[in-house]
Amino acid sequence: MIELIQPGIRTTIQDMGRTGYFHQGVPPAGAADKFSFMFGNLLLGNPRHVAALEMMVKGTTIEFHKKTTAIITGAPVQVLLNGDEQPMWTVFEVQKGDVLEIGYIQKGLFSYLCVSGGFDVPEVLGSKSTCLSSVFTGITGRLLLAGDKIPLSEPLPGAAQHIGKELIREAIPEFGKTETAHVVLGITCDLIRDEGLVSFLNSHWIIQPQSNRTACRAKGGHISYSEIESPFGSGGTPGNIVDIPYPIGAVIVPNEEEIIILLNDGTGGGGFVTIGTVIWPDISKLSQMRPMSKVKFQAITVDQAISIRREKEKLIEKVQASI
């Protein structure tokens, strides 16, 4: 097992998330940056979905009570093993009694500690992912605390053969202050004026401090609503509609000066005008953006979205082939 000496700020257990319960009000949760998470598991020889520790803003200090192999991925952070610096994106061995210190995240928001075999904690609705809004019982229902002891699964056969494996350079993500996210327009964008859609796509939107794993909030443009009579039951204000389902990645327009992009812990529905959906590969990018970073949106078709996802899958396959 591992013991948390210093838990960090918002450290949780995450895997690829839970499916099949969003329509019942349970968000999928899962790693905020799924690519950094998956690459860590692949380098260890794990299946891509195996649970890891997700650390936000500040990392943890951990004592290992078991020999295993591990890797740190995600946003850049200093990693010290018994005081000696370790490179990120590279598999290393830990012995019983070793202390791992993970410092403050320098760019981006989320870093990951993956271990061979993953963490041996109970599943809730088919996943080990923490979702604070779902108020699960047990360790996956809360932030990790100092003194928590988390069981490790047995290292996978041949785990030692992965020591020193590192991620190919082209797969290492960048964490810039300005990013582009692709969005498929639709849902209720007919309630937005044409000039409002133009403003949405031409503006640089500034990420706000209220952003979290539930949603990314941004300001910077002006999105004007269409002048139509509000439907019965919507509350009578232009940004309101009768409730609809929200997909993860939904770009919500609660007022003409702000947008909200739903992330992994987002709600499954609501009553705001929704302009479109950010594509799945770009959710990880948005989740890693710090407050005051800038994002610009590019409209694409469904076919283009599928093509981008296929390119990401090809990159994952290339990483697997390199190991």
Q: Is 167 left (phi over 0), alpha (psi -120 to 50) or beta?
A: beta
Domain boundary among 153, 170, 187: 170
5-34 pLDDT, tens digit each: 999 999 999 999 999 988 888 899 999 999
> What is the Cα–Cα distance from 7 to 12, expressed in whole angstroms?
9
Q: What's this model's pTM, rounded to 2 decimal places?
A: 0.92
CA dist., res. 52 & res. 117, Å (int): 10
244, part of any domain: yes
Residue type at 33?
D
**Same domain, yes or no, for 259 and 299?**
yes
Mark whether 142 and 222 lie in a shared domain.
Answer: no
End position of a domain, from candidates 141, 170, 199: 170
Confidence of residue 132 (pLDDT cuts 50, 70, 90): confident
CA distance 73 to 33: 10
Q: Which structural domain range is residue 88 located in?
A: 2-170
Distance CA 165, CA 78 (A): 19
Residues 146 and 294 in one domain: no
Share of residues in the chain with pLDDT > 90 (%): 75
Say whether both 124 and 11 belong to one domain: yes
Please give the tally of structural domains in the chain.
2
Q: Are 58 and 52 in contact (CB under 8 A)?
A: no
The DSSP output letter for 198 is H
User: What are the pLDDT digits (tens) for 27-68?
Assistant: 999 999 999 999 999 999 999 999 999 999 999 999 999 999
Q: Do both 162 and 42 map to the same domain?
A: yes
Amino acid identity, residue 240? N
Q: Please say whether the beta carbons of 28 and 267 come within 8 A.
A: no
Backbone angles phi and psi of 7, in degrees to 5: -85, -10
Residue 11 to residue 257: CA distance in whole angstroms: 32
